A and B are shown apart, each in its own frame.
Chain A
């Protein structure tokens, strides 16, 4: 781990930026070569990536395992549904404008309670609080539709400049929404990159690695954890906000604690010790789950086996394994 960090620091950011630009180019070209279904799937993947990216600020950089991130995803989703039903304009920007503050306030509130604990108690507390939201969504059916959930119509994009009510609206919506989500994903990734490489991000990693020493240095540990929780929950909430118009429906399923488990799974699949891990994990998990669901009725069994195997043999996730293999290759080349 330490060696890896030094290697990263030793290289300049230029090849990294070049690689990111290449990936972005490929992603931009996707809708012109693949059909609507594949594009739709990739949107789900990008959204899962944003959710996991936010989650990983807590797990990977702050060292806190939340088992309740479904709450922030779900609060984002339900806020959009309420806005669509009760407030005026069906506009994506309006959804984001209302949704982000709501999610931020929710995560600030829950975070304030949860960061008093660490380790297993933190996990259980986040789980318990997320289940409060779940049971409210389930039981207050006259507001939330109970287990039926709430429908959300297709919103207009870019301040109403693009609307999709024509018969061919669906294809258009998917293509344009893809670019919309891609743009927001890029913003999220850049923002998170800045956060984890800022002094604030370094402080979080310091707290993660050695809490006592961080306290000796005069860091207000609980405050740092709280802000980290707030940012983390908000990112996951943004994913929820983006997810609803695509899904067209929000149900209490996204609030249930097993959904939090899927977010954890996603981050681990990609590798939570790497910045890019959760992004890769989000996209791979979406494809994995979609094809598992399509190919067998017992997809959960398949995912469970994958998860157990992953934890047993590949604990650093996909990105961790690749970077380790790359490192080994480089070393061998250096030796000869």
Chain B
């Protein structure tokens, strides 16, 4: 029973991180109609920046509790990168065929992957000190790090905040209006360019936050972003590109299937995920909750 509880908690932990990545991807697609292939790499940048900052903090003797502030800082750095990228690289492509948008983000992926190697080298960068700061709790006779519960909590809080921001604020209305009809929104006087920058920034922030909160539990390594992107694709395909609810449901489905897969059919674990995604695309092309 305790093992089951821990497996469920592990699934939720993974779901929380996946949701952050996939919701950002989905938000960007929903508003800007761009599938950002570099999204996974932005998640990896978040992980690297946070791990590096935590490492610097420890070297400078910053009190350990304060180091938790590095998590949002890492996410903000990624958001800043996004705010620079959008007007510089993506804006010229909104009126052109979507092949070019995919290609430019693929180029961006290659650049980001190698920049991380250039800056932080090939050795994994760890920030597990943060995990050791928090106590280890007992769940029915088994030990479980409390930090994992924090990650789950962050996922839930961000999901609620994002939902509130999109459906209950004025900016959310602007966001949805732009997503539904860009030209009409522009004609009604909305600053579409600003909405795009902010939407892309929020999407990147979420990817960065995913990386930041995951890095204390597992070190930042090269290639983590490229792997994460493909799983995030599975999530949004199952849930529906552009749907927040879809990203949430997709993340939960994928993480539970994956946890069960690692337990019962480790060889086929990834294949099963992709097959589920392909199956959903066949039956419901727009995903479970997609409208596009």
Q: Enumerate chain A interface residues (CB-CB to B < 8 A).
A: 59, 65, 67, 113, 116-117, 119-121, 123-125, 127-129, 131-132, 135-136, 138-140, 257-258, 261, 264-265, 268, 297-301, 303-308, 311-312, 315
Contacts and interface: CB of A to CB of B under 8 A. Distances in A.
Nearest to B29: A120
B103 A307 contact: yes
Contacts of A139: 266-271
B125 interface: no
B276 to A, nearest CB: 9
A267 to B, nearest CB: 10
A70 to B, nearest CB: 12
The A contact surface, by secondary structure, is helix
Given A59-B99, A264-B102, A268-B103, 11 more contacts: A132-B270, A135-B271, A135-B274, A138-B270, A300-B113, A301-B114, A305-B111, A307-B106, A307-B110, A308-B108, A311-B103
Interface in B54-108: 89, 92-93, 96, 98-100, 102-104, 106-108
B28 interface: no
A120 B99 CA distance: 9
A108 B65 CA distance: 58
A251 to B, nearest CB: 15
Contacts, number: 116
A138 B271 CA distance: 10
22 contacts: A123-B35, A123-B102, A124-B35, A124-B281, A128-B233, A128-B274, A131-B270, A131-B274, A132-B270, A139-B267, A139-B270, A258-B226, A261-B37, A298-B117, A299-B114, A300-B111, A301-B115, A304-B108, A304-B110, A304-B111, A311-B100, A311-B104
Given A120-B98, A132-B278, A315-B100, A305 B106 contact: no
Interface in B244-292: 266-271, 274-275, 277-278, 281-282, 285
Nearest to B93: A311
A304 B89 CA distance: 13
Contacts of B230: 127, 131, 257
Given A65-B99, A298-B118, A308 B111 contact: yes
B152 interface: no
Most buried by B among A113, A132, A264: A132
B225 to A, nearest CB: 11
B100 A129 contact: no
Minimum-distance CB pairs A-B, first 6:
A304-B110, A307-B107, A135-B270, A301-B114, A304-B111, A308-B107
Given A127-B233, A308-B111, A261 B285 contact: no
B44 interface: no
B271 A136 contact: yes
A116 B283 CA distance: 10
B237 interface: yes
Contacts of A136: 268, 271
A75 to B, nearest CB: 15
A121 B271 contact: no
B102 A67 contact: yes
A66 to B, nearest CB: 11
Interface string B229-242: 01001100100010
Contact of B114 (A120, A135, A257, A304): A304
Contacts of B271: 132, 135-136, 139
Nearest to A140: B267
A110 to B, nearest CB: 9
Contacts of A131: 230, 270, 274
A280 to B, nearest CB: 17
Contacts of A268: 103
Interface string B100-136: 1011101111111111011000000000000000000
B110 A303 contact: yes
Most buried by B among A138, A299, A303, A308: A308
A114 B104 CA distance: 23
B103 A121 contact: no
Nearest to B109: A304
Contacts of A59: 99
Nearest to B104: A311
A308 B37 CA distance: 13
A113 B282 contact: yes
Contacts of A138: 270
A306 to B, nearest CB: 8
Contacts of A312: 92, 104
Given A304-B110, A315-B100, A125 B270 contact: no
A131 B109 CA distance: 18
A136 to B, nearest CB: 5
Contacts of B266: 139
Contact of A116 (B113, B226, B237, B285): B285
B98 A125 contact: no
Contacts of A261: 37, 106, 109
Nearest to B265: A139
Given A140-B267, A257-B230, A301-B118, A121 B281 contact: yes
Contact of A124 (B89, B115, B233): B233
Most buried by A among B96, B112, B267: B267
Contacts of B109: 261, 304
Interface in B117-166: 117-118
A265 B103 contact: yes
A305 B271 CA distance: 33
A301 B233 contact: no
B109 to A, nearest CB: 7
B35 A264 contact: no
